[in-house]
A and B are shown apart, each in its own frame.
Chain A
Amino acid sequence: MTGQTRPSFSAAIIYRDPLAALAWLEKAFGFETSMLVTGPDGAVHHSEMRYGDGLIMVGGEFDERHISPERIGGRNTHSVHVQMDAGLDAHCARARAAGASIVREPADQPYGDRVYAAIDPEGHVWSFGQTIQAMTLDEQAAATGADIRERL
């Protein structure tokens, strides 16, 4: 377990098979299970994984509002972005070897980050980024042609 600080919020990600998801996320992305709460029948009630200072939760489907993408045709209502310090390409190679579907190969983006994206075995979308060149919002706007501001 690395990071000990607790973010003020975290994503809780829904899987049909949360135990398999925990094992896969450890192998593919290097996340570490830091808490696993199971009931008498072995069902996962709650779990937490850490990656550096980051925290996610992994849980099972528990009502019609909480459903794995696998059961809704690959649709996701959320995704998760992981911003790393270093090692993006090696991380992608590890994920691919573990069976992740790499849907965006690692590539430098005009806003200064190198990014790849992957889909896990139940269809959740993940992106990973590493800053290659730190840029201000004005510089990012100039490089991408988009309007970027700090307020609505």
Chain B
Amino acid sequence: MTAITPQLFYRDPKAALRWPEDAFGFETSMVVTDDKGAVGHAETTWRGESISVGAPFASPELIGPARMTSPAELGGAGSQFLRLEVEGDLDAHCKRARAAGARITQAPADQFYGQRTYRALDPEGHVWTFYQPVAEVSPEVARQGAGLTIRTSLD
């Protein structure tokens, strides 16, 4: 079993754990705090899989010249985003997120590649894209529809 876990960095990790519980239906599953009560590492779970949440840091011993930070420190820029598959009603999921304060930057809409998607920003500006398969689209159809080429390897 090889697992790939995204890690997201927030100025306020505790708030960042609570918020996706209300907005997206995540559940906090692990919180590691130091003797000052600061969150060093945390995990929150959705559909049986976890993401990690941490606080911004710089440490030559751990990450060399890189720095981990929140989009809130970068004018909203991010080096990654998450794509998440919703089971059930995508529009209801979006409605719940909006009610919890998510900024919906792309309302639910069917995409040519056979998915219905919406895009949300959390309070610190991390991008979350939720999707749901709505139709089987063959590579041929997608290619004709959008002028795209679809391959299953680099070769």
Contact = CB atoms under 8 A, between A and B. Distances in A.
Interface of A: 1, 3, 6-14, 22-23, 26, 32-40, 45-46, 51-57, 64-69, 72-85, 101, 103-104, 117, 119, 123-125, 137, 144-152
Given A51-B2, A65-B77, A150-B30, 7 more contacts: A39-B149, A75-B73, A81-B7, A103-B63, A117-B62, A146-B40, A147-B33
A78 B29 contact: no
B101 interface: no
A78 B7 contact: yes
Given A51-B2, A101-B64, A11 B29 contact: no
A113 B48 CA distance: 21
Nearest to B62: A104
A1 B153 CA distance: 9
B80 A82 contact: no
Contacts of B70: 77
**Contact size class for B?**
35 or more
Contacts of B107: none
B32 A77 contact: no
14 contacts: A8-B84, A9-B85, A34-B152, A35-B152, A36-B151, A45-B148, A54-B2, A64-B75, A66-B81, A75-B67, A78-B80, A148-B31, A149-B30, A152-B28
A82 B127 CA distance: 21
A98 to B, nearest CB: 15
B116 interface: no
Contact of A65 (B30, B60, B127, B149): B127
Contacts of A51: 2, 4
Contact of B79 (A75, A83, A147, A148): A75
Nearest to B2: A52
Interface string B45-66: 0111101100000001111111
B108 to A, nearest CB: 17
